[in-house]
Homo-oligomer: A and B are copies of this chain.
Amino acid sequence: MTDDLRSAGAPTLEDVARAAGVSRATVSRVVNGVRNVDPAIQEVVRQAVSVTGYAPNRAARSLVTRRTDAVALVVSGAGVEAGADGEGPGPASGEDGSFTAQVFADPFFGRVVTGVVNYLRPRGMHPVLMFAETSRARDEVVAYLRQGSADGALIVSTHAEDPLPGLLTEAGLAAVLYARPARPVLISYVDLAHQDGARLAAEHLLARGCRRIATISGPLDVPAGQARLAGFRDTMARHGHPYTPIAEGRFTQESGEAAMERLLAEHPDLDGVFAANDLMAMGACHVLREHGRRVPDDVAVVGFDDSSAALACRPPLTTVRQPVEGMAAEMTRLLLDRLARPDSPATSVIFEPELVVRGSA
């Protein structure tokens, strides 16, 4: 008669306690691995746990611990172009899903997810995926965190002037960014030394003997785009090339193709190209080949990121490696650190890029 009185609902601590003949508190201690419990009793409790099939209720636990063991992984973007889906007069940058689709078109985000998950998982934590491309969506992210649905946020911004970091810190919520915020907010972040990366690319092209070098930059309203361009230009200037042709892309393969077309039209004799990411570099290679230029013999191409696109390309891309997974893991570490010590100061960690030489340059 001590059994089977709990036919409905999942077993609770109470049930286990009864089955083990101890108090709820003791069961709780055993379940949470708190010391100071008689080994013999521990064993009895463990038995009872497995007999009853007990699983602690996360909500009840969260209610008292004030922790959820979840973190929000949010992809944030300020302005998305109107979707070219032709589905009627929808909002120009609305929540029609074009943003979420675009995000994953770039192999970059998958790598971030990989890095985050690999750090979180061994610690029993999980990422909740969120997108914050509109002001409404941003408010929802803030609300989500304020409700205590997640312990903190990992922010990957696709555009500068993203208001989200500000909103978050203002609300006293724990957050860490991938990439330095445009306006200095007191918040931790990881970033890459983009300028150094661009320098590596420029020097490689120069060392290779290229003399008429152009660049396909990233969007100039995103910090990474600016920094890579700046690093490239500075290096070129320092080596006696104060004027280098530039075509702005949007980090997509398509925009890379268009940029390459423009470059080729204006400078048919170029012999080297630095693209600010691999997707654009790949687009450039396609266009070059279509125009009868051999890569790297006629035109050398260097990409950036060392994403999966670099190996997918023919020839495989010489590129500047951004250790995305490692950076994402570090970003996660910074967040968990902050959660453990809420008033630890904001920290930033800058990673150094590395040149990876393959076939394209």
Contact = CB atoms under 8 A, between A and B. Distances in A.
Interface of A: 10, 55-60, 62-63, 68, 70, 73, 95, 97, 100-101, 103-105, 107, 109-111, 113-114, 117-118, 121-122, 126-131, 137, 143-144, 146-149, 253-254, 282, 286, 289-290, 308-309, 311-312, 314, 325
B127 A121 contact: no
25 contacts: A58-B148, A58-B149, A59-B62, A59-B63, A59-B68, A62-B62, A63-B63, A70-B149, A73-B129, A97-B114, A97-B118, A97-B325, A104-B110, A104-B111, A105-B308, A110-B110, A113-B129, A126-B149, A128-B128, A128-B129, A129-B129, A282-B312, A286-B314, A289-B314, A309-B312
Contacts of A95: 121-122
A270 to B, nearest CB: 20
Nearest to A65: B59
A266 to B, nearest CB: 23
Given A59-B62, A105-B110, A127-B128, A146 B100 contact: no
A289 B286 CA distance: 13
Contacts of A311: 253-254
Nearest to A110: B104
The 8 closest A-B pairs by CB, nearest first: A104-B110, A59-B62, A55-B146, A97-B118, A59-B63, A58-B147, A100-B114, A58-B149
A contact patch SS: helix
Contacts of A59: 59-60, 62-63, 68, 148
Given A128-B70, A148-B59, A104 B100 contact: no
Given A97-B118, A254-B311, A290-B314, 6 more contacts: A55-B147, A58-B148, A59-B148, A97-B325, A104-B107, A105-B308
Contacts of A129: 73, 113, 117, 126-129
A62 B62 CA distance: 10
B131 A121 contact: yes
A314 B95 CA distance: 32
Nearest to A314: B286
A62 B107 CA distance: 35
A311 B314 CA distance: 15
A54 B308 CA distance: 45
Query: Which interface residue of A95, A104, A122, A286 has the most chain B CB atoms within 10 A?
Result: A104
A126 B128 contact: yes
Contact of A117 (B56, B127, B131): B131
A253 B312 contact: yes
